[in-house]
Structure 1
Amino acid sequence: MSSKKNSTFICCFLLAFSITFIFCYSSAINGGDGWLTDGEVSYILQRQLLHYRDELAGRGENVSVDPTLGFENPRLRNAYIALQAWKQAIISDPQNLTVDWTGSGVCNYTGVFCAPAPDNRSELTVAGIDLNHGDIAGYLPEELGLLTDLALFHLNSNRFCGTVPKKFRNLKLLFELDLSNNRFAGIFPHVVLKLPKLKFLDIRFNEFEGGVPKELFDKDLDAVFINHNRFMFEIPDNFGNSPVSVIVLGHNKFDGCLPASIGNMSNTLNEIIMMNNGLRSCVPEEIGLLKEVTVFDVSFNELMGQLPESVSGMVNVEQLNVAHNFLSGRIPESVCRLPKLVNFTFEELFAGKAGAKV
């Protein structure tokens, strides 16, 4: 038996075992008569099969194009294939957002936006997709890589699961990628590092895990949101290479130090939130170089030592939160002279009550 057939057999066996176990468990907790509905069984099968497809890089759909359909150009034909494949990969669409995804008029599909192609203004192409807050369940098929002119891809607040398709690497014009508040899993989606135009990356509130590649901080991004995942890594020394204006890393499990290279972000950084990450170090003097920062939050970590006097250089800071660390010593008097400071939240080990504000 070939390796692929062996894999298929094992997958089918595991699927059958999973469903049998779920039936038994459901019966047990419901007094013996709590059988799953056909829809629930189908959903579980899809979730299990999705992982199998991800592992073998074969997560595609069978899309046939009706020869009677007419398309203005090849780009829209490719878009039709991509969107029909995606529609097949959707398990639940309670708001019926994709119910009108039929026919060749892809520019009229809900959530799909067309514009003149950047290399040929006489041709329309799919330039953006926005299905935010759709509560849609499903996964992302590899055919989405056919949307090579896509600039915006927004899927905030849905129930998409699985991983980010490898063929996203074909989206060379993608500027904004928002996959936040879904159920994506697996390791950090390295494919985003291959998107040359990407400026806005938002993958917060998912179930990604493992390390975060240091190459992320060398990439020319403006905003990075990777908070509320399961990432575990040590912030690399090249962290300060990032030209971001906003970076939110909170609620993961980091290790190590807050690197001194943070001072290299002085000309671009406006907001940085690293709360609840397990950072263990002193607060580097270089934070005083962050003259453009308005929000600086490193609360709920294990930072030690004193808050440096150099904090006086943060002349635009409005929200400064260093509470719930292991900081000690006196609050630098320069904090009180920060011209735009609105809220300063500090640790009980300072001379004041826990959570007090100045």
Structure 2
Amino acid sequence: MHKGLVPRELASLHNLEVLALGYNNFTGSIPVEIGNLKGLTRLHLASNMLVGEIPTEIANLRNLTKLYLSFNRLSGPVHAFLGGLQKLQILYLGPNRFSGPIPPSLGNLSSLLVLDVQINGLTGSIPESLGNLNLLNVLSLTSNSLTGSIPHTLGKLSSLVEFYLNGNQLEGSIPPSVYNFSSLQIFSVQYNNLSGPISYHLGNKFPQLQNLSIDNNRFHGSIPESLCNASMLEIVQLSENFFSGVIPKCLGATMKSLSALLLSYNQLEARNDADWDFISSLTNSSMLQYLALGHNKLQGVLPNSMANLSTNLRYFSVSGNMLRGNIPEGIGNLVNLQHLQVDGNFLDGKIPESIGNLRILVELYLSNNGLSGPIPPMLGNLTALIILDLSQNVLTGPIPSSLGSCPLETLSLAFNQLIGSIPKEIFLISALSVSMELQGNMLTGTFPQEVSNLVNLGYLNVSDNRISGLIPASLAQCRSLQYLSIEGNLFQGPIPASMSQMKGLLVLDVSRNNLSGDIPVFLGDMQGLAILNISFNNFEGEVPKRELFLNASAALIEGNYGLCGGIPQFNLHPCSNHTSEKWSHKLVVLISVGSAVLCIMLVLFALFAHRKLRSKFTMTRRVPSLHSGQHIRVTYVELVRATSGFASENLIGTGSFGSVYKGRMMNGNQEVIVAVKVLNLEQRGASQSFVAECETLRCIRHRNLVKILTVCSSIDSRGLDFKALVFEFMPNGDLDQWQHSRLLEDGSHGVLSLTQRIDIAIDVASALEYLHHNKPVPIVHCDLKPSNILLDNDMVSHVGDFGLARFLQQDDTSLPEISSGWATRRGTIGYAAPGLPLITDVHL
């Protein structure tokens, strides 16, 4: 590494015209002696490690035409004296560490062709004087902290070819004058706070355009059809804005060189087959590699024409839309596909076996749909697959052993209806390092000893299955494991002593099994362990008074009736040293439990007999008041009558686990309006959501929480289970509707005022404050979003939908010490609402 530029050597080079010392790892500052080289026309010091400010002596270099100072560590301001170098044609100042504003004097450089100050810490607004640079070809202000609006004077840069303002904090709309860059090839303003519509004539104004990158802003309106006239376009990035309407059908018709079309995270729509014609148009773009349509409002069926898209396609995403029907079998034609994302829709049918033809596929996301049938063994052909997510579908059959041929790092088959044992081949995937999620299925058999091969795995969840046998001692070889959940199975026997070697474990949940024996003392001494749940097993003996077991919120042990001792917070009886006393105590417990059960049976029999007698002599009954403070009993027939047979015109909302209907019921002699939430029990997790909501709502009451009136757990007209909750009706809908201009009864659009927004935020904060400090157990909502915030007649907000709520002391993800990478995911994954609410709940 060079020590720096040597001033004495430079002093003798008075007639030097070119000084090119780039890429030499020079350190130190730029010597002031360079100012003596008055004949210098080109100074190249780029790609060194120079520090300090630009010396003012450079102002003496009046003949300088090219100045390259990029890729150093220079700091301080961009000095105004640079504007005096009238012959300067090329000025590269980034990346460096310059700060302060861009000096307006740079607008005096009338010969300038390239102005590049990218990746610095420049602040303030863009000087209007830059519009005087009539010869400028490249303007790059990328990745600074510039604020304000885009000056309209920049529209005078008629020679501009490349325009980079991306990665700043610019606001406002694009000035109409900017659309006069007829020679423009690259237009990049992404990652700002720009808003408003884009010009309807954009494609006509920029006929030479190759790269249009305006993503990650706040643009709205429709995508202009004139964009199709920009036939030289290669990259179109419009993602993460508020564009609406349909996608122009002509896209791709003339864009033979189009390689990337990124439209995700907008409000684009497709309501019928005709709205999907743009896919057929894109089949003309033979160079297309990236097509991102995820997280819009696209409906309908994926067209079969997608099978005719370019075989160069590497990335295809329609995640987070409202698609129905099957995944086209022709998707297997896209043989170069590496990323396929169709998760978060309403797709059904089987997984196409043709996906097995995508031999270089790296990521496959099919989760959160209604896909059924078996997992195709052909997926084992995907020998480049790293991520496979088929969770939250209704897949049946066994787990194919052929998946062992995939070099998976992440495997999620959770919440399906898979049966059979876990194939040992899955545990032979040495690449598994991120997570394996098999929870919420009907898997049986024992846990394979081959689990010892997963030495790099960080997250393992096989909870809520029917796996039996012993916990394998070989599990201790998973030294990288941070989260282990085997709860809700049929495991028996002790916790193996070998698990003391699992030093990286943060969360261990073995609850709801048939485990027995003493609690291993080593569990209390595992330094990293933050949450231990051994509740509802058959453990007995004294609770260790070691580290973890001194914190009742970290060690969950309830439901083990043979335990004794421990800290007072466990509320266990003291341990006895005499065996006879131990057996005597057990006998007392058994007699007490038996007596209690017998009494309960007698009471239930008496109630049953009383009900039979009452129904025999009483043909009618009076319906108690819905607002009497008591939870009345309501039948399935009454709810059918109240909602006109769950008619579609009474449907006011749908969610993950059911639908909400508007209904009318009698309150004495007065009719009242209610909201009836009917659970879709065919959806996995709906029953648990019903129980969670009942458990939560029965112990909370607050003016800013939705009030439950009653519940109904019955049988419907088809003889199937029926579960519903009845709430007070909120006539002003939910906050999500108001954020997007709610349509009022008179046909106008309601918009929230600033005062109303503040009141709503205060209401939500009050509800969360109440929940988070609830006694005796704090409650975490876990799915707080605008659609779950309802508004009454007075625009008072009420937080609702507690189907994912958790009591904090039972939540194995509640402690901040737990790595979020292994925390149980709950709520609306990836959700980030614009605007309100500003108050957030735990949302993993």
Normalising to structure 2: TM-score of the pair? 0.29
Partner in structure 1 of residue 712 of structure 2: none
Mean CA deviation greater in 315-324 or 99-108: 99-108
Partner of 2:422: 235
Moved more, 346-355 or 255-264: 346-355
CA spacing shift, 1:182–1:333, aligned 2, 3 Å? same
Measured against aligned partners, the alpha-carbon deviations of 1:43-72 in whole angstroms (never above 9, x if no partner) come to xxxxxxxxxxxxxxxxxxxxxxx9x95674
Q: What residue in structure 1 maps to residue 471 of structure 2?
A: 283
* 1:323 maps to 2:511: yes
The 3-state SS of whatever aligns with 1:350 is strand
Query: Cα distance, 1:343 vs. partner?
Result: 0.5
Percent of aligned pairs with the same residue? 22
Compared CA separation, residues 178 and 338, structure 1 to 2 (3 A): same
Alpha-carbon spacing, 1:125–1:236, altered in 2? closer, same or farther (3 Å): closer
Closer/same/farther in 2, CA of residues 97 and 156 from structure 1, 3 Å limit: farther
Q: 1:353 to 1:97 in 2, by over 3 A?
A: farther
Instruction: Map 1:148-159 to 2 at 5 A.
Output: 148-159=335-346
The 3 A distance-change label for structure 1 pair 259 and 193 is: same
Q: Which residue of 2 aligns with 1:292?
A: 480
- Looking at structure 1, the residues matched to 271 and 527 of structure 2 have their Cα atoms a distance apart, in angstroms, of 50
Contact between 1:98 and 1:109, CA under 8 Å: does it hold in 2?
no
Structure in which a larger fraction of residues adopt helix: 1
- In the alignment, is the contact (CA less than 8 A) between 1:151 and 1:176 conserved in 2? yes
Q: Deviation string for 1:54-111 (max 9, x for gaps)?
A: xxxxxxxxxxxx9x956748x99xxxxxxxxxxxxxxx859x9957435236558652
Match of 2:533 in 1: 345
CA distance in 1 between partners of 2:534 and 2:471 (Å): 13
Cα deviation for residue 193 of structure 1 reads 0.9
Q: Does 1:103 align with 2:281?
A: yes
**Aligned runs of 1:136-147 on 2, under 5 Å?**
136-147=323-334
- Alpha-carbon distance change, 200 to 231 in structure 1, aligned in 2, over 3 angstroms: same
Q: Corresponding residue for 2:679?
A: none
**Counterparts of 2:312 and 2:515 in 1: how far apart (Å)?**
55
Separation (CA, whole Å) in 2 of partners of 1:218 and 1:174: 13
- Post-superposition shift, 1:224? 0.7
CA pair 206-97 structure 1, distance change in 2 beyond 3 A:
farther
Residue 324 of structure 1 and its aligned partner are, at CA, apart by 0.3
How many Å apart are 1:347 and its aligned residue?
2.8
| Deviation of the 1:138 alpha carbon | 2.1
Distance (Å, rounded) in 2 between the aligned partners of 1:340 and 1:125: 47
SS of equivalent residue, structure 1 residue 153: strand
Between the aligned partners of 1:147 and 1:170, the Cα distance in structure 2 is: 9
Paired residue secondary structure (1:344) = strand
Gaps of 5+ in 2: 1-249, 260-269, 295-309, 541-556, 561-569, 571-809, 813-844
Task: Quote the Cα distance in structure 1 between the aligned partners of 2:253 and 2:424.
Answer: 55
Instruction: Select 1:314's aligned residue among 499, 502, 523.
Output: 502
User: Are 2:304 and 1:129 equivalent residues in the alignment?
Assistant: no
The 1:214–1:124 alpha-carbon spacing in structure 2 relative to 1, beyond 3 Å, is closer
CA distance in 2, matches of 1:346, 1:330: 11
Match of 1:198 among 370, 380, 385: 385
State the partner residue of 2:559. Answer: 354
| Residue identity matched to 1:262 | V
Distance in 2 of aligned mates of 1:197 and 1:205: 24
Write out aligned runs for 1:181-220 (5 A): 181-220=368-407
- 2-structure distance, mates of 1:93, 1:164: 24
**Alignment partner, residue 766 of structure 2:** none
2:353 to 156, 166, 176: 166
Pick closer, same or farther for the CA change 1:300–1:288 going to 2, 3 Å.
same
Match of residue 223 from structure 1: 410
Q: Following TM superposition, by how much is the alpha carbon of 1:124 offset from its aligned partner in structure 2, in angstroms?
A: 9.3
Please give the alpha-carbon distance, in whole angstroms, between the structure 2 residues aligned to 1:289 and 1:110.
41
SS in 1 for 2:364: strand
Do 2:399 and 2:423's aligned partners in 1 also have CA atoms closer than 8 Å? no
For the residues of structure 2 that align with 1:201 and 1:239, how far apart are their CA atoms? 13
Secondary structure of residue in 2 paired with 1:254: strand
Alignment match, 1:12: none
Q: State yes or no: 1:265 paired with 2:463.
A: no
Deviation at 1:236, TM superposition (A): 3.0
Aligned amino acid, residue 516 of structure 2: S
342-351 vs 145-154, which deviates more? 342-351
Contact 2:292 2:315 in 1 (8 A): no
CA 1:128 to 1:258, structure 2 compared with 1: closer, same or farther past 3 Å? same
Report the alpha carbon displacement of residue 136 of structure 1 after superposing the two structures with TM.
1.2
Pick closer, same or farther for the CA change 1:148–1:261 going to 2, 3 Å: same
2:177 pairs with 1:177: no
1: CA distance, partners of 2:535 / 2:470: 14
Q: CA offsets, 1:221-254, max 9 Å, x none?
A: 1111011111111123444312212111111111
1:99–1:109 CA distance, 2 compared to 1 (3 A): farther
Question: Which residue of 2 is the match for residue 251 of structure 1?
Answer: 440
Q: After superposition, what is the alpha-carbon deviation per residue over 1:156-211, rounded to whole angstroms, capped at 9, x for unaligned?
A: 11011112222223212210000001111111122211112111101011111111
Q: Which whole-Å CA distance do the structure 2 matches of 1:226 and 1:301 have between them?
A: 17
Tell me which residue corresponds to 2:638.
none
Contact persistence 2:349–2:372 (CA under 8 A) = yes
Matched residue type, 1:141:
P
Unmatched runs of 5 consecutive residues or more in structure 1: 1-65, 77-91, 113-122
Q: Which amino acid aligns with 1:354?
A: G
Secondary structure of residue in 1 paired with 2:322: coil
Contact 2:380–2:404 (Cα < 8 Å) also in 1: no
Q: C-alpha distance in 2, partners of 1:100/1:354?
A: 59
**Cα-to-partner distance string for 1:17-37 (whole Å, 9 max, x where unaligned):** xxxxxxxxxxxxxxxxxxxxx
Letter matched to residue 417 of structure 2: R
Q: SS in structure 1 opposite 2:499?
A: helix
The alignment's C-alpha RMSD in Å is 3.1
Report the structure number with the largest CA radius of gyration: 2
C-alpha change, 1:102 and 1:214, in structure 2 (3 Å) is closer
CA distance in 2, matches of 1:98, 1:338: 57
In terms of mean alpha carbon deviation, does 166-175 or 199-208 score higher? 166-175
Q: Deviations over 1:128-153 (max 9, x none)?
A: 11211112112112221221111101
> What is the rounded CA distance, in whole Å, between the counterparts of 1:109 and 1:262 in structure 2?
38
Instruction: After superposing the two structures, state which structure 1 stretch, 233-242 or 128-137, moved more.
Output: 233-242
1:109–1:248 CA distance, 2 compared to 1 (3 A):
closer
- How far apart are the structure 1 equivalents of 2:346 and 2:323? 5
- What SS class does the counterpart of residue 224 from structure 1 fall into? strand
Displacement of 1:326: 0.2
Match of 1:305 in 2: 493
Counterparts of residues 55-134 of structure 1 (less than 5 Å) = 72=256, 93=271, 98=276, 100-104=278-282, 107=288, 111=293, 125-134=312-321
1:57 is matched with none
Of 243-252 and 138-147, the range deviating more from structure 2: 138-147
